[in-house]
Structure 1
Amino acid sequence: MNKISKILCIVVTCLAVGYFSGIVTQSAITTWYPTLVKPSFNPPNWIFAPVWSMLYIMMGIAAGLVWDRMDFEPEIVKKALIAFAIQLALNALWSYLFFGLHNPLLAGIEIIVLWLFIYETYVQFSKINKLSGYLFLPYLAWVSFAMVLNWNIWWLNR
């Protein structure tokens, strides 16, 4: 498989994870979420879909570039892609915990673990391909913001 195919494969996978996470959030966005007290810095709902779509595309490009180095650095690439897969699973789990179970406390605890795996993936990707590391920085920043938002929502609604 060539580099472009690897990138496209992972981009599609990331977007699929985002799509299925969106299914979990869809009903809660119109029913449960509007009933919550939110902090003043809570973004409007329409911003989340385009931001997450761009982040999933950037994640996929980053992982595809790393995957393309498998023949040259198999051990470090495997380690990096395992961290990537774990953070992607944790990403999907957060949506289920927050929106599916309506549990900001559990989601708040989980997002800390998610952030740590995103950071680990960033570190591992940076060792293999600098661009891949850079592509993870907006994701790390957004999840940092989401973590603050998550904990504020929990605090305001406890």
Structure 2
Amino acid sequence: MPTATHVPEEPALSPWLRLAAAILPVAATAFIGSVSTRENIPLWYEGLNKPGFNPPNWLFPVAWTLLYTMIAVALWRLLGAKPRTGPSRQGWWLALAVFLVQIALNAAWSPVFFSAHAIGAALVVVAALLMMVLWTIRLTWRFDRIAAWMLVPYAAWVGFATLLNAAILRLN
């Protein structure tokens, strides 16, 4: 009796197109964050009351550079894990959609917090971001466990950012 062998599917996108599709939304998010914070850190953020566990300002761009790199690699891996047929395809599309929603929430937080000075609204955004990152990890796990693990430090940092945002709201 012949046995069926599983032939791995080729990624739906070429490696270069996948790379661009992974880097562009993350780079756009980083750019929005940079533009939103550049003038507002010295002119507004420095004057806020902050908790004792507030990290030094230099740590934020270092952390985000590392995190954005990991996020882009995770997205690149998820894009390469796309099943062509079957019920997994719908789950993959959901994982991709949730991934993109969390990137959009990430991009929204800096303008809300730094540009609009809306600390309470920013807390809502960052809390929603945390939930979406956790859901992204859960959905991505099914298709690429390395990609899911690469998002864990991001979830930890966003959890810390949520706590920090809440403390700043309370103190101001």
Give yes or no for TM over 0.5.
yes
Count of matched residue pairs: 157
Superposition deviation, residue 4 in structure 1: 5.7
Letter in 1 for 2:99: F
**1:152 matches 2:164:** no
Letter in 2 for 1:63: L
**1:34 matches 2:34:** no
Runs of 4+ deviating beyond 4 Å: none
Query: RMSD of the TM alignment (CA)?
Result: 1.4
Q: 1:85 aligns with which of 93, 100, 125?
A: 100
Q: Is the 8 A contact 2:32 2:110 kept in 1?
A: no
Choose 1 or 2 for highest CA Rg.
Answer: 2
Q: In the aligned structure 2, how far is the partner of 1:78 from the partner of 1:7?
A: 18
Q: Which structure 1 residue ranges, 5 or more long, are not aligned?
A: none
Q: 1:124 aligns with which of 132, 136, 139?
A: 139
Letter in 2 for 1:102: H
User: Relative to total residues, which structure has the larger helix share, 1 or 2?
Assistant: 1
Q: In the aligned structure 2, how far is the partner of 1:56 from the partner of 1:117?
A: 16
Q: 1:104 aligns with which of 108, 114, 119?
A: 119
Q: Is the 8 A contact 2:25 2:103 kept in 1?
A: no
Letter in 2 for 1:55: L
Superposition deviation, residue 139 in structure 1: 0.2
Q: Is the 8 A contact 2:83 2:92 kept in 1?
A: no
Identity of aligned residues (%): 31
**1:16 matches 2:31:** no
Q: Which structure 2 residue ranges, 5 or more long, are not aligned?
A: 1-12
Superposition deviation, residue 111 in structure 1: 1.1
TM-score of the superposition, structure 1-length normalised? 0.93
Q: Which residue of 1 aligns with 2:82?
A: 70
Q: Is the 8 A contact 2:54 2:164 kept in 1?
A: yes
